[in-house]
Structure 1
Amino acid sequence: MESISVFEIIKVGIGPSSSHTMGPWNAASAFIRIIKRERSIAEVKEVFLEFFGSLAKTGIGHGTDIAGMLGLNGEDFRTIDTTKIDEKIETIKNTQTINLGGEKEIHFVYGHHLVLNMQKSLEYHPNGMIFRAVFEDGTELEQDFYSVGGGFIMSQEKKSIDKHCVRTLYPCHKSSDIVRYCEKLGLSRISDLIFMNEESWRSREETRAEALYIWQQIKECIYKGVNKEGVLPGGLNVSRRAAGINRKLLGDKIYRNKEEWFRQVVEAEENFTNINKWISCFALAVNEENASFGRIITAPTNGASGVIPAVLMYAQAFTDCTNEEDIVRFLLVAGEIGTLFKKNATISAAMGGCQAEVGVSSAMAAAGLTEILGGSVGQVLMAAEIAMEHHLGLTCDPIRGLVQIPCIERNTMGAIKAITAANIALESDPAKAKVTLDEVIQTMWETALSMNDRFKETSEGGLAIAVNVPEC
Structure 2
Amino acid sequence: MFLSVFDIFKIGIGPSSSHTIGPMVAAARFLDHLRAQPFKVAGVSARLHGSLAFTGAGHATDRAVMLGLAGITVAGYDAEAAEAELARLRTERTLHPAGLEPLRFDPSSDLVFDYGPPLPAHANGLVLRGHDAQGDVVVEQTYYSIGGGFVRTAEELAAGPAPDHGPAVPYPFASAKEMLRMAAESGRSIAAMKRANERVRRPRTDLDGDIRMIWRVMSDCIDRGLEAEGTLPGGLGVRRRAAAIHASLRAERGGNMAAPHLVTDWISAYAMAVNEENAAGGQVVTAPTNGAAGVVPAVMRYWLDHVPGASRERVPEFLLTAAAIGGLIKENASISGAECGCQAEVGSAAAMAAAGLAAVLGGTPAQVENAAEIALEHHLGMTCDPVAGLVQVPCIERNGMGAVKAVAAASLALRGDGAHLVPLDVAIETMRQTGRDMSDKYKETSQGGLAVNLPNC
Contact 1:310 1:415 in 2 (8 A): yes
Letter in 2 for 1:428: G
Q: Mind listing any 5+ residue stretches in structure 1 that lack a counterpart?
A: 253-264
Shift in CA distance, 290/165, structure 1 to aligned 2, threshold 3 Å: farther
Aligned to 1:76: 73
Say if 2:40 is the partner of 1:53.
no
Contact 1:4 1:164 in 2 (8 A): no
Say if 2:387 is the partner of 1:390.
no
Task: Compute the displacement of 1:451 (Å).
Answer: 0.6
Task: Compute the displacement of 1:136 (Å).
Answer: 4.8
Contact 1:16 1:302 in 2 (8 A): yes
Task: Compute the displacement of 1:356 (Å).
Answer: 0.3
Aligned to 2:153: 155
Task: Compute the displacement of 1:321 (Å).
Answer: 4.8
Q: Distance in 1 between matches of 2:62 and 2:164?
A: 26
Q: Distance in 2 between matches of 1:219 and 1:437?
A: 29
Kindly report which structure 2 residues correspond to 1:65-464, keeping only aligned pairs within 5 A, or say none: 65-101=62-98, 104-136=101-133, 140-157=138-155, 158=157, 166=166, 167-187=168-188, 189-203=189-203, 206-251=206-251, 270-271=257-258, 272-431=260-419, 433-464=420-451
Contact 1:250 1:268 in 2 (8 A): no
Q: Distance in 2 between matches of 1:248 and 1:169?
A: 49
Give the CA RMSD over aligned residues: 2.2
Letter in 1 for 2:54: K
Residues 436-466 of structure 1, C-alpha deviation per residue, up to 9 Å, x if partnerless?
0001001111111111110000000000001
Q: Distance in 1 between matches of 2:50 and 2:19?
A: 11
Task: Compute the displacement of 1:37 (Å).
Answer: 2.4
Aligned to 1:64: 61
Q: Distance in 1 between matches of 2:224 and 2:85?
A: 22
Task: Compute the displacement of 1:251 (Å).
Answer: 3.4
Task: Compute the displacement of 1:205 (Å).
Answer: 5.7
SS of structure 2 residue aligned to 1:132: strand
Q: Distance in 1 between matches of 2:437 and 2:313?
A: 41
SS of structure 2 residue aligned to 1:49: strand
Say if 2:34 is the partner of 1:35.
yes
SS of structure 2 residue aligned to 1:225: helix
Q: Distance in 2 between matches of 1:312 and 1:180?
A: 27
Shift in CA distance, 102/400, structure 1 to aligned 2, threshold 3 Å: farther
SS of structure 2 residue aligned to 1:100: coil
Q: Distance in 2 between matches of 1:466 and 1:443?
A: 28
Aligned to 1:26: 25
Letter in 2 for 1:372: V
Task: Compute the displacement of 1:77 (Å).
Answer: 1.7
Contact 2:22 2:147 in 1 (8 A): yes
Task: Compute the displacement of 1:270 (Å).
Answer: 4.8
Contact 1:14 1:78 in 2 (8 A): no
Letter in 2 for 1:379: Q
Give the structure-2-normalised TM-score: 0.94
Residues 241-288 of structure 1, C-alpha deviation per residue, up to 9 Å, x if partnerless?
011112222239xxxxxxxxxxxx9x9985443322211111111000
Q: Mind listing any 5+ residue stretches in structure 2 that lack a counterpart?
A: none
Q: Distance in 2 between matches of 1:161 and 1:442?
A: 18
Q: Distance in 1 between matches of 2:436 and 2:289?
A: 20
Task: Compute the displacement of 1:227 (Å).
Answer: 1.1
Q: Distance in 2 between matches of 1:456 and 1:139?
A: 32
Residues 408-436 of structure 1, C-alpha deviation per residue, up to 9 Å, x if partnerless?
000000000000000000001222x1100
Shift in CA distance, 210/36, structure 1 to aligned 2, threshold 3 Å: same
Task: Compute the displacement of 1:95 (Å).
Answer: 2.3
Contact 1:15 1:293 in 2 (8 A): yes
Task: Compute the displacement of 1:38 (Å).
Answer: 2.9
Aligned to 2:456: 469
Task: Compute the displacement of 1:361 (Å).
Answer: 0.1
Shift in CA distance, 160/204, structure 1 to aligned 2, threshold 3 Å: farther
SS of structure 2 residue aligned to 1:59: coil
Letter in 2 for 1:236: L
Aligned to 1:258: none
Shift in CA distance, 295/161, structure 1 to aligned 2, threshold 3 Å: farther
Contact 2:304 2:312 in 1 (8 A): no
Contact 1:306 1:412 in 2 (8 A): yes
Q: Distance in 1 between matches of 2:4 and 2:256?
A: 39
Shift in CA distance, 294/160, structure 1 to aligned 2, threshold 3 Å: farther
Letter in 2 for 1:154: R
Q: Distance in 2 between matches of 1:320 and 1:136?
A: 67
Shift in CA distance, 108/390, structure 1 to aligned 2, threshold 3 Å: same
Task: Compute the displacement of 1:33 (Å).
Answer: 1.3
